[in-house]
């Protein structure tokens, strides 16, 4: 009891630990349990697995996935690789029936993770693809330098795997529809990521990941430059929109302007 009281008093004036945030912690704002982070950063962490680093973009992972595929091709006669791929295949095949997104809303995280794994199996994802994802994400995360702990890695493995089975559906008219399954966050991502990583990392170990990083280097550097340019262009568009806003341009025109500027700078 004494410890609890002390923690509560100490929490009263504490601010969020995320660099540059400065908002009061959840506890001191009376908005939740966290004594270390604010409400916004607790939610960010739930979605991305890090308090400050956003999720990896598909384009950002692409050079690493290519490199991982090269690595896997070069090692295709390894018995260990074959048996790990088989284990992952069995895990997906043995996960049972995927239920509908509608049924899932009230399920526990472990059940949601089971369904996510079953859906990968239903989508025909081979075990080796999960090794490729684990290698690519591990390589990218390593390349980024220290980002918290294993949690970011596992959440990102889960998100990248999730995408294999839940891409945006296209309607018959060709317009993208809302994804059938909502974006996941929270515990299900941790469980799903851990299940895949736990098996795949037998092959996607530190040595293999270092080799994938080396293979990906030339293309990853090119991709990083493109990304840097994209961010710079995006900042430019944002500045220009703010300028127009200050001039009193209405929201509808602003949206048109924004779309046009984005097209002009090739930002999707
Ligand atoms: Zn914060």
Tell me the per-residue pLDDT of 114-167, one tens digit each, with 9 for 90 and over: 999 999 999 999 999 999 999 999 999 998 887 767 899 999 999 999 888 865
CA 18 to centroid of ligand 1, rounded, Å: 5
How far lies 22's CA from each of 14, 30, 38, in Å?
Answer: 9, 16, 9
SS3 assignment, position 48: helix
Phi, psi for 24 (deg, rounded to 5): -65, 150
- Choice between 130 and 58, residue whose per-residue pLDDT is larger: 130
DSSP code per residue over 165-201:
H-PPPB-TTSPBPPPSSPPP-THHHHHHHHHHHHHHT
**Cα–Cα distances in Å, from 187 out to 107, 157, 193, 239?**
12, 14, 10, 37
pLDDT at 18 over 50: yes
Q: What distance in angstroms lies between residue 197's CA and the mean position of ligand 1's atoms?
A: 29
What are the phi and psi torsion angles at 81 (to 5°)? -60, -45
| pLDDT reported for residue 182 | 54
Question: Do 15 and 25 contact (CB within 8 A), yes or no?
Answer: yes
Residue showing tokens 């997906």: 92
Instruction: Find where tokens 């293999």 sit.
Output: 208
Rounded mean pLDDT, 95-109: 80
pLDDT tens digits, 200-251: 999 999 999 999 999 999 999 998 888 888 889 989 999 999 999 999 988 8
User: How far does the centroid of ligand 1 lie from the alpha carbon of residue 224, in Å?
Assistant: 27
Q: What Cα–Cα distance (Å) separates residue 156 from each residue in 137, 147, 190?
A: 7, 12, 9
Contact call for residues 134 and 204 (beta carbons, < 8 A)? yes
The pLDDT-based confidence of 31 (bands split at 50, 70, 90) is: confident
Q: CA-based Rg of the chain, rounded to a whole angstrom?
A: 22
User: pLDDT tens digits, residue range 158-200?
Assistant: 999 988 886 544 445 555 555 555 557 889 999 999 999 999 9
Quick one: average pLDDT of 32-49? 92
Query: pLDDT band for position 8 (50/70/90)?
Result: very low
Between 11 and 48, name the one with better pLDDT.
48
Q: Are 51 and 37 in contact (CB under 8 A)?
A: yes
Share of the chain above pLDDT 70, in %: 87
Among 48, 6, 46, residue whose Cα is nearest residue 27: 6
Q: How far is the CA of 185 from the centre of ligand 1 (A)?
A: 18
- Return residues with CB closer than 5 A to ligand 1 (ion): 16, 18, 21, 23, 38, 41
Question: Among 37-46, 81-90, 173-182, 204-213, where is mean pLDDT lowest?
Answer: 173-182
Ligand 1 centroid – CA 17 distance (Å) = 7
Q: What is the pTM assigned to this prediction?
A: 0.80
Question: And the tokens for 64?
Answer: 């690493």
The alpha carbon of 76 and the centre of ligand 1 are apart by a number of angstroms equal to 46
Gap from CA of 16 to ligand 1 centroid (Å) = 5
Per-residue pLDDT averaged across 249-261, rounded?
A: 90
Measure the CA angle with vertex 174, ends 170 and 179; round to 5°. 20
């Amino acid at each position: 009891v004494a410890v609890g009281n002390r923690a509560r008093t100490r929490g009263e004036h504490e601010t969020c630990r995320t660099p540059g945030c400065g908002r009061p912690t959840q506890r001191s704002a009376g908005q939740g349990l966290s004594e270390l982070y604010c409400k916004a950063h607790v939610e960010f962490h739930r979605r991305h697995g890090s308090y400050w680093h956003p999720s990896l973009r598909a384009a950002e992972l692409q050079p690493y996935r290519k490199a991982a595929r090269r690595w896997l091709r070069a090692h295709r006669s390894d018995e260990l690789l074959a048996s790990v791929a088989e284990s992952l295949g069995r895990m997906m095949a043995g996960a049972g029936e995927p239920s509908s997104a509608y049924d899932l809303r009230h399920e526990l995280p472990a059940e949601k993770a089971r369904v996510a794994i079953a859906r990968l199996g239903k989508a025909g994802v081979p075990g080796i693809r999960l090794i490729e994802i684990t290698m690519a994400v591990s390589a990218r995360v390593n390349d980024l330098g220290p980002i918290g702990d294993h949690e970011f890695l596992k959440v990102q493995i889960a998100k990248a795997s999730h995408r294999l089975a839940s891409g945006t559906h296209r309607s018959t008219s060709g317009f993208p529809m809302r994804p059938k399954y909502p974006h996941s966050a929270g515990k299900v991502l941790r469980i799903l990521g851990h299940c895949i990583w736990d098996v795949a990392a037998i092959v996607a170990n530190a040595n293999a990941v270092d080799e994938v990083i080396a293979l990906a280097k030339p293309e990853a550097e090119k991709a990083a430059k493109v990304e840097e340019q994209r961010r710079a262009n995006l900042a430019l568009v944002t500045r220009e929109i703010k300028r127009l806003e200050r001039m009193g341009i209405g929201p509808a025109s602003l949206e048109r302007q924004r779309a046009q500027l984005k097209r002009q700078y090739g930002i999707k």
